[in-house]
Amino acid sequence: MKKGKLWTALLLTMVMCINPVRIGWNGTAFYENTVKAEEDDGSDTDGENSTETEIDPTVQTNDINGWPQGDAIESDAAICMDGNTGAVLYGKNIEKQEYPASITKIMTVLLALENGNLDDTVTFSENAVYSIEYGSAHLGLTEGEKLTLEQCLYGIMLASANEISNAVAEHIGGSVEKFADMMNQKAEELGCVNTHFVNPNGLHDDNHYTCAYDMALITQAAMKYDKFREIIHTQEYSYPETNLVKEKRYFANHHGMLMDESRAYDGFIGGKTGYTDEAWNTLVSTAERDGMLLISVVLHANGQDIEYGNTKTVLDYGYNNFKEVQINNLDQTVSDTEVIGIEDAQEAEKIRQADLSRDPFTVAETTTVTLPNSVDTSSLIRKMDFTTDKMTYYYEDQALGSTSFSYTGEWEPETETSAQTELQTESETETEAGGLSQMIQNGAFADNKVLTAIVGVYDKLDLFIKTHTIFAVILGAILLIIFIPLLLVSISRNKKYKKMIELRTQEIALRRQLEAEIEEKSAAQVEAELRAHELEMQLEEERRKNREKETPEEP
């Protein structure tokens, strides 16, 4: 009997080694197992890691002169970035190499959204299903099973399913290895500085690493897709019956700020959790308030309480200390413009003094930047990089927002004569357009305070129209829409009024004519006319009575 039990134990051990992913899945029981395995290795991450670490109090952004001071955090690296402008608001070791664990899957989903169709059918290969580590997060998909790409993306982001990440990688890239190449190419395209991927799921590999700054860039790119936002904000999802499994499978989102009331955050959209023994806890989170989108990344945190606490700290810091501001690119409102990528000193100086609203430049009228609450736009420096065609606004070497521009380099030829002619033309135009302003400046009405005030208002209005042309055109169109109907109504009423006055004039004239005629007649003539009129009335009355007598009564 003892030998039989021993052989049974050995047999079970062999089965687990051959097919570890399948053990523990039998219908609904599988759901309970996978929900408990919130992170990549299925371990309990609520507790603290046994390894003791020293807290690094250094927050690099605190070293920026005039920058809001952020609290120290326990995580090894963290960042808070404005997702709209790309401005780094809070930074601690943001370029330090770290292991990402399952937050890798944000890049996997980003590439799937860019290169796939949500209605595509994904068929699970043997490699996709069986190549994942024992005990890592999965949803029990089997070889040959089929899901749509959309269903796969929910399984990746909510349940952190590693076999689904593999299947999507094979579907999009042809193989896991080719998909990893696509991941690295995309990272380079986004401007990542310390990232290298070798798989689509984040299972540990010494050559699979990233940094907080790079993960914020990757998340910023993914957040441009409405479908990504919809997926990460979903609390629960289920798979219907498939070609191989005849029952529903349910799973929930692992992010605590969405699922745990004690960790809820105002404006929270969604994110991705991660954990391996080497990476410790990693967490990406996004929130939006009044149109301001913030992205936080926390890496190498010693437990869930620390990663969620640190996330709240950096997000609160962002919302409490910063604001988004629109800068008019066509105004010279910044203290200086630095030209990069132009070797000719004369051309560079010409660019610094140029009107960006005219050739050879094409640039958007405004740029959104993220400013500390205590900083004014006049403190910013504008850098025009002609190697990347990017115009970026900086405060103390901290990029706050950028926009693209184009430069043909083909300046209009300008001779001395043409320059003088243009200057004279501009002067004449200004005199014609603002003659009153010019006269006051010359002292013609220097003592007239009313005219001086009027011209001051006119000059401000003229400046506003020049610097806000589009807004002025829209406002002018609205005013036309309002005042044209009023003008038409006024014209119609004016015509009616004139007609009424004309009739009244004719009536008065007729009355005066009758009065004049009466005054010209004698009393006898007037009396005779009255008697004749009275007689006529009597005759008419008699004729009426006779007609009534002749009319027979109705039976």
For the ranges 86-100, 142-156, 464-478, which has the lowest average pLDDT? 464-478
Is there a catalytic annotation at residue 238? Answer: no
Q: Can you give the pLDDT at residue 536?
A: 83
Look at residues 390, 399, 404, 394 and name the one whose alpha carbon lies nearest to residue 216: 399
Q: Can you give the pLDDT at residue 35?
A: 35
Is there a catalytic annotation at residue 390? Answer: no
| Tens digit of each residue's pLDDT (9 = 90 or more) over 305-341 | 999 999 999 999 999 999 999 999 887 666 678 999 9
* Fold entry, domain 29-46+67-321: Beta-lactamase (3.40.710)
Question: Catalytic one among 75, 125, 136, 160?
Answer: 160
| Tens digit of each residue's pLDDT (9 = 90 or more) over 505-517 | 888 888 777 777 7
CB 363 within 8 A of CB 356: yes
The stretch 425-439 carries a mean pLDDT of 49
SS3 of 129-194: HHCCCCCCCCCCCCCCCEEEHHHHHHHHHHHCCHHHHHHHHHHHHCCHHHHHHHHHHHHHHHCCCC
Is residue 22 predicted with pLDDT exceeding 50?
no
Is there a catalytic annotation at residue 105? Answer: yes
Q: Can you give the pLDDT at residue 127?
A: 97
User: Could you state, in order of their start, the residue ranges of all structural domains in the chain?
Assistant: 29-46+67-321, 329-407, 416-467, 468-540
**Cα 547 versus chain centre, distance:** 91
Rg (CA), the chain: 41
Question: Catalytic one among 102, 125, 136, 285?
Answer: 102
Angle 93-95-96 from CA coordinates, rounded to 5°:
65
Q: Could you tell me the pLDDT band of residue 288, with boundaries at 50, 70 and 90? A: very high
Question: Catalytic one among 92, 105, 272, 383?
Answer: 105
| Tens digit of each residue's pLDDT (9 = 90 or more) over 357-372 | 888 999 999 999 999 9
The stretch 253-267 carries a mean pLDDT of 97
SS3 of 65-105: CCCCCCCCCCCCEEEEEECCCCCEEEEECCCCCECCHHHHH
Instruction: Tally the C-alpha atoms within 13 A of residue 207's C-alpha that lie toward its C-beta.
Output: 4
Q: Could you tell me the pLDDT band of residue 472, with boundaries at 50, 70 and 90? A: confident
Is residue 48 predicted with pLDDT exceeding 60?
no
Residues in Cβ contact with 234 at an 8 Å cutoff, skipping those fewer than 6 apart: 154, 158, 253, 270
Residue 209 DSSP code: B
| Tens digit of each residue's pLDDT (9 = 90 or more) over 162-209 | 999 999 999 999 999 999 999 999 999 999 999 999 999 999 999 999
**Residue position matching structure tokens 């689904």:** 164
Q: Can you give the pLDDT at residue 417?
A: 41
Q: Can you give the pLDDT at residue 322?
A: 98
**Cα 280 versus chain centre, distance:** 32
For the ranges 335-344, 384-393, 430-439, which has the lowest average pLDDT? 430-439
